[in-house]
């Protein structure tokens, strides 16, 4: 084995794809039963529900280039609506995407750029699915197999999994979130682990609701709305996406699909799905004129999943990568380190893989 990749999110899968194409022997370890990280699509009773990322900046070239390599180029679909709204004082008004991003305090793609956002016809989950299919027989993939420790042994990196199995590799790519990477690096370089711990991350919780179109009085002629700071009665709601208005074929004919976004406190992550659905229905009902109960509901939790690219982020990542470079043959990849959402994750995986492959130590 030439390289071990810890983490089967988009960055890890892209790195494996790139290295396999270069003829390298790669093993990929994913802690969850399902790879793909925050790119996950659920097809449920005719609804296409994105549990994580819903698309990518259409003007960006990274994702379309990857889709072309994977045979998905004809599956790219455009954003339908471009108008965004602001909720303040119980009423909705027009809002630019740039201002919406500033209000949310998270890196939201600028949909005012030509083409807005794009997605995939079968949902963004088609991207990791295609990567996994392409990697079959070319890369060793271990799902539901957390790596609990890495250390140096005989001039190589030794990986220990939760089952106690060990494996050695000359190179390791950590394509996992910062907190998981910190836990693995701490015994080797406590200062690098401390830098990872200082990266600012927030949690995201999304409630997807399907309704008959007749049960929603608002026209939904927009991408969705962002909640103004201090807006009374929002109960922690940060934004709502009108998924079935934004992209085609997200809901059965005669129905609509909404996504309510919250930034929960740690203790709120444990509130039941029913509690979150009730809260979403209550808050959205007052804004959009909902009647009756949702025909479909799905709660998606992403603890400490949203990186905050503040003024010091770039310098912090640079210092972190410098420390890892001194360790040698230990690398990081993921959207937490390279801004840009889905395109950032793709670029990160590709860039690390290419640098590792030129030349790969033996």
**Tens digit of each residue's pLDDT (9 = 90 or more) over 131-162:** 999 999 999 999 999 999 999 888 899 999 99
* pLDDT digits 0-9 by tens, 271-298: 999 999 999 999 999 999 999 999 999 9
318 and 207 both lie in a single domain: no
211 and 274 both lie in a single domain: yes
301 and 327 both lie in a single domain: no
Domain contains 18: yes
195 and 344 both lie in a single domain: yes
Strands (E), the chain: 3-6, 26-29, 41-44, 47-50, 56-57, 76-78, 84-88, 91-95, 117-120, 140-142, 147-153, 156-161, 166-169, 171-174, 201-212, 224-227, 237-242, 255-262, 296-307, 330-332
Residue among 55, 46, 48, 72 at smallest CA distance from 129: 72
In the block, residue with structure tokens 């406190």: 265
Domain contains 177: yes
Please answer whether residues 216 and 290 qualify as being in contact, where contact means their C-beta atoms are separated by less than 8 angstroms. Answer: yes
Q: H-type helices in the chain, by residue range?
A: 10-21, 62-70, 97-104, 126-135, 178-185, 190-198, 243-246, 273-288, 313-327, 341-356
User: Rounded to 10 degrees, what is the CA torsion of 334, 52, 100, 65?
Assistant: 60
* pLDDT digits 0-9 by tens, 42-98: 999 999 999 999 999 999 999 999 999 999 999 999 999 999 999 998 899 998 766
pLDDT band of residue 112 (cuts 50, 70, 90) is: very low
Domain contains 136: yes
% of the chain with per-residue pLDDT over 70: 93
Residues in the chain: 362
Position 360 pLDDT exceeds 60: no
211 and 348 both lie in a single domain: no
132 and 236 both lie in a single domain: no
Burial of 265 (0-12, 13-18, 19+ CB in 10 A): exposed
CB proximity list for 16: less than 8 A, separation 6 or greater: 5, 26, 28, 131, 135, 139, 353
> Which tokens sit at 33?
């039963």
Domain interval for residue 155: 3-37+127-199+309-356
Integer Cα distance of 35 and 13 in angstroms: 8
Q: Say what the pTM is.
A: 0.92
Please answer whether residues 179 and 304 qualify as being in contact, where contact means their C-beta atoms are separated by less than 8 angstroms. Answer: yes
CATH of the domain at 352: 3.50.50.60
10 and 146 both lie in a single domain: yes
* pLDDT digits 0-9 by tens, 217-233: 999 999 999 999 988 77
Domain contains 64: no
Residue among 71, 108, 87, 73 at smallest CA distance from 308: 108
79 and 140 both lie in a single domain: no
132 and 95 both lie in a single domain: no
105 and 140 both lie in a single domain: no
Domain contains 78: yes
Q: Which of 270, 291, 307 is the last residue of a domain?
A: 307
Three-class SS state of 329 = coil
Domain contains 151: yes
Residue among 243, 173, 193, 231 at smallest CA distance from 28: 173
110 and 215 both lie in a single domain: yes
14 and 131 both lie in a single domain: yes
CA distances from 1 to 35, 157, 314, 325, 327 (A): 21, 11, 32, 21, 20
What is the number of domains present in the chain?
A: 2
Position 359 pLDDT exceeds 90: no
Residue among 313, 321, 357 at smallest CA distance from 105: 313
CATH of the domain at 98: 3.90.660.20
Per-chain mean pLDDT for the chain: 91
């Amino acid at each position: 084995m030439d390289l071990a990749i810890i983490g089967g999110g988009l960055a890890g899968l892209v790195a494996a794809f790139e290295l396999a194409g270069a003829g390298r022997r790669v093993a990929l370890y994913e802690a969850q039963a399902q790879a793909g990280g925050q790119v996950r699509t659920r097809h449920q009773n005719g609804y296409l529900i994105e549990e994580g990322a819903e698309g990518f900046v259409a003007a960006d070239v990274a994702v379309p280039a990857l889709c072309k390599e994977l045979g998905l180029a004809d599956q790219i679909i455009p954003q339908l609506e471009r108008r965004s709204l602001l909720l303040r004082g119980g009423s909705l008004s027009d809002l630019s995407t740039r201002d919406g991003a500033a209000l949310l305090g998270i890196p939201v793609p600028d949909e005012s750029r030509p083409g807005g956002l794009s997605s995939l016809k079968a949902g963004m989950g088609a991207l990791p699915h295609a990567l996994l299919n392409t990697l079959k027989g070319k890369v060793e993939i271990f799902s539901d197999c957390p790596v609990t420790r890495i250390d140096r042994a005989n001039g190589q990196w030794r990986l220990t999994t939760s089952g106690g199995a060990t494996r050695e590799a000359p190179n390791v790519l950590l394509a996992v979130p910062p907190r998981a990477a910190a836990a693995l690096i701490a015994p080797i370089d406590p200062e690098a682990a401390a830098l990872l711990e200082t990266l600012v991350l927030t949690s995201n919780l999304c409630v997807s609701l399907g309704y008959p179109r007749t049960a929603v009085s608002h026209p939904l002629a927009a991408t969705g709305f962002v909640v103004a700071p201090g807006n009374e009665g929002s109960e922690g709601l940060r934004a709502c996406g009108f998924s079935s208005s934004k992209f085609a074929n997200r809901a059965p004919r005669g129905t609509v699909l909404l996504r309510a976004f919250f930034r929960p406190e740690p203790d709120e992550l444990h509130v039941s799905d029913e509690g979150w659905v009730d809260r979403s229905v209550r808050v959205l009902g007052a804004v959009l004129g909902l009647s009756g109960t949702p025909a479909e509901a799905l709660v998606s939790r992403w603890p400490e999943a949203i990186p905050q690219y503040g003024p010091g982020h770039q310098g912090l990542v640079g210092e972190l990568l410098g420390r890892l470079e001194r360790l040698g043959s230990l690398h990081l990849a993921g959207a937490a380190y390279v801004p840009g959402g889905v395109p950032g994750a793709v670029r990160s995986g590709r860039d690390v893989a290419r640098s590792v492959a030129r030349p790969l130590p033996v």
